[in-house]
Amino acid sequence: MILLEKVHKRYGPRVVFDELNLTIGKGISIIRGPNGSGKSTLLRILAGIERPTRGRVKVLDRTPREARPLISYLGHRTGLYPHMSVKENLDFFSSIHGGDYMPMVEKFGLIEYMHYPLRKLSRGNLQKVGLVRTLMREVPLYLLDEPTTALDSRSRETFIEIISSMRDRIVLIATHEDLGLDSHAEINL
């Protein structure tokens, strides 16, 4: 369960959200809103990367920072090391996060890129590696910010197939796109 009570966030004079109250339970929830409405900021607060200016945030009955080991987060950036290869990155993150990356690497068609440094990959392939890192973990909470950005239609379908099998967890997706996921909650910022 995610709980936000009277959460206020501002960057200098700009108020991103004021008195935000939200309760999110198990299943897939989609966050929608125009550019700059605070979708990414909300996910970063839940991931413990940013702090709200004021208000109370509880993630899985803990503070976001305490809950970090139970969260898998994909932001606008991949959260990977651009100078290391795909394999080196996934080896490292599977060793500290747990999880087997090979089934997802095969599903996303990344086998041939395993020894490429990340900085030499296309935007779409980079996003796929970021998704593999995020989704290979077995955690109760997934926070995904624009996860289908730059993906081709096949990879998008693969992503939807994987996400659809995660309804027993909390999956929070910030997106502009219609992902065609059935039975999900919508949050409009």
Among 9, 107, 128, 133, binds other proteins (CB under 8 A): 133
Is there binding between residue 160 and other proteins (CB under 8 A)? no
Question: Which range binds other proteins by CB under 8 A, 26-34, 77-85, 108-116, 167-175?
Answer: 77-85
Assign residue 6 a region: left if phi > 0, alpha if psi is -120 to 50, beta otherwise? left
CB of 170 to other proteins, least distance (A): 15
**Nearest distance from C-beta of residue 35 to other proteins, angstroms:** 20
Cβ density class 117-154: b for 16+ within 10 Å, e for less: ebeebeeebbbbbbbbbbbbbebebbbbbbbbeebeee
12 binds other proteins (CB under 8 A): no
User: Of 6-14, 53-61, 72-80, 172-180, which segment contacts other proteins by CB under 8 A?
Assistant: 72-80
- How many residues can be counted in the chain? 189
Q: How far apart are the first and last CA of the chain?
A: 19
Give Rg (Cα) of the chain: 16
Residues that contact other proteins, how many (by CB under 8 A): 26
| From candidates 69, 100, 161, 185, binder to other proteins by CB under 8 A | 69
Does residue 165 interact with other proteins by CB under 8 A?
Answer: no
Compare residues 16 and 129 and give the one whose CB is closer to other proteins: 129
DSSP character string of 96-156: HH----HHHHHHTT-GGGTTSBGGGS-HHHHHHHHHHHHHTS--SEEEEESTTTT--HHHH
Q: Hey, which residues does 171 pair with through a beta bridge? A: 28, 142
Site string for other proteins, 38-67 (x = CB under 8 A): ---------xxx------------------
Site residues, other proteins (CB under 8 A): 47-49, 68-69, 71-73, 75, 77-84, 88, 92-93, 95-97, 117-118, 133
